[in-house]
Amino acid sequence: MSTDVVVQVKNLGKRFKIYQSPWARASEWASLGRKVSHQAFWALKDISFELKRGECLGIIGPNGAGKSTLLRVLTRSLYPTTGTFQIRGNLLSLLELGTGFNPELTGRQNIYRSTQLLGFPQGYVSERIQDMEEFAEIGEFFDLPIKIYSSGMYIRLAFSMFVFLKPEVLVVDEALSVGDIFFQQKCHAKMQELMDYQAAIVLVSHDMSVIERYSTRTLLLDQGRCLFLGQPLEAVQRYYKMERSFVARTEYAGDIHNVRPGTDHDSGKSDLIADWPPAHAFLDLTRATVLGTKGIARCIGIAVCDDKGEPCTTFKIGEKVFFYYEFELLQDIDVPVGGVVLTNKMNIHVHGKNSLHYMSKAPLITRKGAHVRFRQTIQLDIAAGEYTFMIGFATIGTDDYLHANEMYFAQLQSKIKDILGVCQVGTILVRESTLRSGFLFHGYTNLQGDCRLSVSHNNEYQ
Amino acid sequence: MIRVLYHYRNYIVQNAWNDLRHRYAGSGLGAIWNVISPLAQILVYTIVFTELMSIKFPGVSSRFAFPLYLCSGFLPWIAFSECVSRGANSFLENANYLKKMPIPEQVFVAQTAMSATLGLFISLGLLFALAIIMKYPPTWLWLIVPLVAILFQGFGFGLGLLLSSINVFFRDVAQILGIFLQIWMWMTPIVYPESILPERLLIYMKFNPAYPFIHTIREVFLYGRFPESWMWWVMCAWAFGVPVLGYLVLRKLRPEIRDVL
């Protein structure tokens, strides 16, 4: 292999044998391979890639896709069933953060022992132990048995050990998301430093922003197979599409004529939404969590699209997301209300708005059997990151609806009766935008505003 | 295999040493328990055999000779059986490490064997001291005792290695082993003298792998006789053959061991 390639993986496969009981294994052994009484489970199949110095390979995929198995094979704590892999130089894995520690030994002794296990010579560590001690910032505890450490000290010790060992290949598995924010920041700084001095990194994460930020290439795994290997952005988009699996639902009656419009109080007719997305754009609702009262309405479909009406879950800051959702009424209700709530990773409701807040026209009475469709457009003027959304369906009394204009928010909210809330249908990812787009800001949202400046050289301000 | 064990030598020795030191961590007497428990057992056997059952030993007249006789067989046996039974469990015990780190499997068996051997050396040292106190003249032949002990432990390491790979897949092995070791001990002249065995049973001792080791240690230590050469051949065969066999089994099963931990 060329001198730059530090990790080379060829047709790697890992099969687990699943036996019903130890007796099944015994009988298979006794038959000397003539009888097969196990089920083969391929956790990995035909994985090939190369990794050069200074590259970072991101690995993503749903739970059970084989990400951890792949890492365990690379760290040699599992033997591959097929294929080969070669690693040039030292491989260090944050998987094993502190696993080799002996509670009876002091921090210093543990560092010597663990590094020895990882294959680093004693002299190598002696040169760096001073730095490790300073980085760990645990003072005199460094020379006390680690069984008396707090869990925070434990992590600090383990991490400072890794900081100063300079491996050619580093394997990171979700380690960036443990610990407090300061620890995470240290991890991130360390990642950057490692990449700067040309280590190769294998990074597994469920945090797509981390993947997009660090990886130079991304491997998308599903059920042990490589679905995609290439540009991180494309891999992330494919991942989202895959995970949300745009299942075409046969029960979906996408026929606009089924909708029995109610009577609009202004024109006597509400406008039908013309550009309804095709059936395949609608999300799989089988795993959705539905909150609220049963028997009043049911959710027929939810779709998330871009401005061209194509199903989409990745947007840049400032782009518009189009939510399409439809409910069928199982009882008569008054005025229907529909809305969307966006929630960020910290479970903060970043934005929530319903058709009433938009002052959308709605029928005063909606009969049983009617289908109510909503198309809600939201300009994503919010921080980059992953957001979950909840689609809500509610109703408000005819009188209250007619007087809604005069009400304040809290008063209006108290009049709205929630019917359904559909959550865990999917997520949308908001990506960073460039300065030119005008959507750069600190914090959660971009508030409307403006900033000008002027300079005076001869004190005209007086 | 030898290269791997050599590479991890520091780890093995340090862990074995820590194991001895910390096995009884938290107890008042700490590491001293390593010595007290076998001594208590020896005391019990001595009282039962000499005081209650008054068995006579040919060639040794003193009534204090029995403890020496007993110790010279019993201490190596304890170390051996610990080596085998803990060795057989070592993969399961260290599953945490095996699951996450690329340490070769045999290192953990070697570690338990080393810990048992260190313990044995300590108790042999005490035994020699006891013998000198009891006015047994030390001879150069005593130097052979540790050598035989190492061979015996090598055999134990091999058995542990063999069983540990199998025990991962069939966890009944460790249970059966516990019973088997008990029976094995009583089928070997350890707590009772060889002389009480009838002639027809003594022939079968050739097939008892533990017998040559125990027999040789006693011959050397108590009677000052250099063991016959065929004894050496038999001991070396067990001490080197079984580890090789264990390693072959491990190599065959290795790809799957970490899968089932």
Contact B188, B210 (CB under 8 A): yes
Average pLDDT over residues A53-80: 88
Regarding predicted confidence, which is higher, B134 or A111? A111
The identity of residue A121, as a single letter, is: P
Contact B78, B64 (CB under 8 A): no
Measure the CA–CA gap between A269 and B129, rounded to whole angstroms.
108
From residue A288, alpha-carbon distances to A281, A291, A299, A325, B11 in Å are: 16, 10, 10, 14, 52
Nearest to A22 among B169, B256, B259 (CB): B169
Phi and psi angles of residue A26, each rounded to the nearest 5 degrees, phi first: -60, -45
B256, closest residue in chain A (CA to CA): A79
Q: Number of CB pairs < 8 Å for A and B?
A: 55
What is the distance in angstroms between the Cα of A140 and the nearest Cα belonging to chain B? 22
What are residue A82's DSSP bridge partners?
A: A13
Nearest to B22 among A95, A96, A104 (CB): A104
B14, closest residue in chain A (CA to CA): A113
Span A187-206, pLDDT tens digits = 677 777 877 878 888 988 88
Q: If pLDDT is split at 50, 70 and 90, which confidence band does A262 have?
A: very low
| Cβ-Cβ contacts under 8 Å, A102 against chain B | 15, 18
Residues in Cβ contact with B189 at an 8 Å cutoff, skipping those fewer than 6 apart: B73, B197, B205, B211, B214, B215
Give percent of chain A with pLDDT exceeding 70: 89
Measure the CA–CA gap between B200 and B196, rounded to whole angstroms.
12
Note the pLDDT of residue B2: 79
Span B21-63, pLDDT tens digits = 777 766 777 777 777 877 887 788 778 877 777 666 555 555 5
Taking CB atoms and an 8 Å limit, are A77 and B170 in contact across chains?
Answer: no
Taking CB atoms and an 8 Å limit, are B170 and A25 in contact across chains?
Answer: yes
Q: Which two tokens stand for residue B163?
A: 């069983």
From residue B40, alpha-carbon distances to A205, B34, B67, B79 in Å are: 57, 11, 11, 15
Nearest to B101 among A26, A100, A105 (CB): A100
What is the distance in angstroms between the Cα of A132 and the nearest Cα belonging to chain B? 21
B212: domain range?
2-260
Q: Which two tokens stand for residue B210?
A: 């533990």
Q: What's the CA angle centered on A102, arms A97 and A108, to 5 degrees?
A: 80
What is the distance in angstroms between the Cα of B102 and the nearest Cα belonging to chain A? 5
Indicate the number of domains in chain B.
Answer: 1
From residue B74, alpha-carbon distances to B34, B79, B149, B170, B213 in Å are: 14, 9, 12, 30, 12
Provide the ipTM: 0.77
Residues in Cβ contact with A264 at an 8 Å cutoff, skipping those fewer than 6 apart: A270, A361, A362, A363
Determine the residue among A18, A37, A77, A96 to mutate to test chain B binding: the one whose Cβ has the most chain B Cβ atoms within 10 Å.
A77
Span A103-154, pLDDT tens digits = 878 889 888 888 877 777 778 888 888 888 888 888 889 999 888 988 778 8
What is the distance in angstroms between the Cα of A99 and the nearest Cα belonging to chain B? 7
Span A82-103, pLDDT tens digits = 999 998 888 888 766 767 787 8
What are residue A290's DSSP bridge partners?
A: A422
What is the distance in angstroms between the Cα of A123 and the nearest Cα belonging to chain B? 14
CA B223 to chain centre: 22
Residues 239-258 of chain B whose Cβ lies under 8 A from any Cβ of chain A: 254-256, 258
Note the pLDDT of residue A408: 85
Note the pLDDT of residue B64: 56
**Does the CB of B175 have a partner CB in chain A at under 8 Å?**
no
Domains and CATH numbers, chain A: 5-243 (3.40.50.300), 256-437 (2.70.50.60)
From residue A301, alpha-carbon distances to A278, A283, A369, B140 in Å are: 11, 7, 15, 92
Average pLDDT over residues A209-217: 83
